[in-house]
Amino acid sequence: MSESGSGEWVTVAQRSALKPGEVMGVQVKDKEIALYDIDGTVYATENTCTHAYAYLSDGWVDGDVIECPLHGGRFEIKTGKGLGPPIDCDIKTFPVRVEGENIQIKIGG
């Protein structure tokens, strides 16, 4: 689920652009990424729902769960775990760090 080891850190957004309880979508190279702020900590997952073609960043953050707007599929943001039908495949998460004003995620490896 979560990548570690090799890979590179890439700046994807400014910290000030994301507020607690929010989700935003960013594009990094060929990847669509969703960034979340849960109580001041930033998390990242793939943005395309594993169920059908929709962006989680268009959906709703409910505590530490993201709900896809298309058919209501839900994932745990911190772990990417799918929380029941229609989701049968967890979503990929990415390591996140904040360097100054930059939100960075680790891709590749």
* Residue 5: count of CB within 10 angstroms of its CB: 6
Q: 31: burial class by Cβ within 10 Å (0-12, 13-18, 19+)?
A: middle
- Measured from the CB atom, the residue of 3 and 90 that comes closer to another protein is 90
Please select the residue that binds another protein; options are 8, 22, 88, 101, rule is CB under 8 A.
88
Among 31, 70, 79, 102, binds another protein (CB under 8 A): 70
The only residue of 12, 38, 56, 67 in contact with another protein, by rule CB under 8 A: 67
Residue 21: CB minimum distance to another protein, A? 11
Tell me how far, at minimum, the Cβ of 70 lies from another protein, in Å.
7
Q: What is the dihedral of CA 106, 95, 77, 18, to 10 degrees?
A: -70
**Phi, psi dihedral angles at 17 (to 5 degrees):** -80, -15
Residue type, 20: P
Which parts of this chain interact with another protein (CB under 8 A)? 54, 58-60, 67, 69-72, 84-86, 88
